[in-house]
Amino acid sequence: MGIALARAFPNLSVIVQDNNTAMLQQAKETQDLSDLKHRIKFAKYDFFTPQPIKDAGAYLMCQIIHN
């Protein structure tokens, strides 16, 4: 979803965070992101720790399952 948002909004910078490094790596390696190279980043993040990105314009949370 982050890649689609970055492509739809050319002035948007996106940081995709996930706890699964394999998923982050797959997202980077299986798609041509050359058009987004300066506007998209991928970072490991555990939902249960404080958010390291402060003062973002928006936070979009997807596919979060908690028991």
Active site residues: 66
Asked if 36 and 4 touch (Cβ cutoff 8 Å), the reply is no
Sign of the Cα pseudo-torsion (26, 28, 33, 36, in order) = positive
H or E element that contains 11:
none
Strand partners, 40: 14
